[in-house]
Amino acid sequence: MANVTYLLGAGASYGAVAVNRNISKRLDLYIQNGPLENYNQNRLNADLVINQNIDKLITAREHVSEDYSEFLIPFFEDLKWLYNKTKHRKSVDEFAKVLYHNEQTRDLKKFKYLLSAFITMEQIINPPDNRYSSFLSKVKSEPHFNNISVLTWNYDFQFELANREFSGEDNLYYSSRDLGLVSKNIVKNYSKGFSLVKLNGTAGLNDRGYRNGYITDEVSDKSIYTLFDDILKGYYDALKDDKCKLEPTLSFAWEEDSNEPNSLVEFARKKLESSDHIVVIGYSFPEFNAKIDQRLFGGIDYTRKNLIVQDPSANLVIDRLGEITTYRSNLKAKEKDPRGDFYIPREIII
């Protein structure tokens, strides 16, 4: 049976979560529509993609309960801190690396929670990217389903959202277990079968297994009314209560020693190495991740592998992959529609 490994970047979730170049703009818009006074309240962005569904954010903010309302302004002040620290960077992750390098542990934890909160809010106020549901509907009942692995740089929970209707579980944690989630902080079960490998972890919080890893447990039409209660409870528990042991489940791949034989990166590399098909969707092999990408792809012989690239800049992606692999002469790729459904090799569904 053929093995298929997908590698997903931000472009795979563009329909639901802001890609890196738009995160600062969305953060700015969030703050504009928050409770802070004199923050350019009347300034609008001409880009409709940036403005989408912001009315739902206002609805959510207006429904915060009295139990957590006192944390609303401090939370938005911290969002403004995140915006100011990241607005001139190519990627918000760059700032995280600065904090990590300078051993600014408390600010790194704040960064991770605020980014997790933002990613959570994005997925509550925006409809899900329907390509995830479409993908699962085509492969989950197939005999080859257990021959599929997904490696993702994204810390959203689009797969968990899509899988709820197939797993029968509304709870995101149980949906993630059904998908065989593998990451550093949530699940360390490197099992066989379908695996969802999150190289950067998940936007959320964890208390040594006592909390499920997500800021909001269940997502439904009513989630908009409890969103800020969940966000602000996590904000207080993680950042304001010194007695609380909550830690972000967002953990960047470069924070671990990827040379360790049992590391997450090594596990992911073995998935790629044993694959007959490698499908890259919405990932451009940026310089920022070059060291990890080199570990993942550097020693792979592509002679007998079918490489598929779904990206608006497919040629650039192929060139960058060629720069980090030893077997450049064997590197050949097929391009597929970057906006279409996730590509599935026909032998998986026939």
Q: What is the CATH number of the domain that holds 267?
A: 3.40.50
What is the sign of the dihedral through the CA atoms of 248, 252, 253 and 256?
negative
Give the count of domains, the chain: 2
Q: What is the pLDDT of residue 300?
A: 83
In this structure, the answer to whether residues 35 and 165 fall within a common structural domain is: no
Dihedral, 52, 58, 63, 68 alpha carbons, nearest 10: 110
Tokens of 164: 């709820």
H or E segment and range at residue 204: strand 201-206
In this structure, the answer to whether residues 181 and 303 fall within a common structural domain is: yes
In this structure, the answer to whether residues 277 and 293 fall within a common structural domain is: yes
Tokens of 10: 């931000």
Contact at 8 Å (CB) between 57 and 121? Answer: yes
In this structure, the answer to whether residues 224 and 322 fall within a common structural domain is: no
Length of the chain: 350
Distance separating alpha carbons of residues 143 and 348, to the nearest angstrom? 8
Range of the domain at 71: 20-127+212-245
In this structure, the answer to whether residues 9 and 32 fall within a common structural domain is: no
H or E segment and range at residue 174: helix 172-178
Q: What is the pLDDT of residue 331?
A: 67
Coarse DSSP helix, strand, coil percentages of the chain, rounded to the nearest 5 percent? 50, 10, 40
Residue 248 gets which letter from DSSP?
E
Distance separating alpha carbons of residues 15 and 194, to the nearest angstrom? 24
Contact at 8 Å (CB) between 119 and 249? Answer: no
Binned average pLDDT, 10 residues per bin, the chain of 350 residues: 92 87 88 78 51 84 91 94 93 92 93 94 90 94 91 96 89 90 66 87 75 78 86 86 79 75 84 93 90 89 84 87 75 74 85
In this structure, the answer to whether residues 143 and 160 fall within a common structural domain is: yes
Distance separating alpha carbons of residues 56 and 169, to the nearest angstrom? 25
H or E segment and range at residue 317: helix 314-324
In this structure, the answer to whether residues 41 and 85 fall within a common structural domain is: yes
Strands (E), 31-119: none
In this structure, the answer to whether residues 272 and 181 fall within a common structural domain is: yes
In this structure, the answer to whether residues 282 and 241 fall within a common structural domain is: no
Tokens of 272: 């790629």
In this structure, the answer to whether residues 155 and 235 fall within a common structural domain is: no
In this structure, the answer to whether residues 185 and 102 fall within a common structural domain is: no
Contact at 8 Å (CB) between 290 and 263? Answer: no
Distance separating alpha carbons of residues 30 and 43, to the nearest angstrom? 12
Name the packing angle between helices 92-101 and 105-125 (round to 10°): 160
Distance separating alpha carbons of residues 271 and 148, to the nearest angstrom? 9
In this structure, the answer to whether residues 194 and 334 fall within a common structural domain is: yes
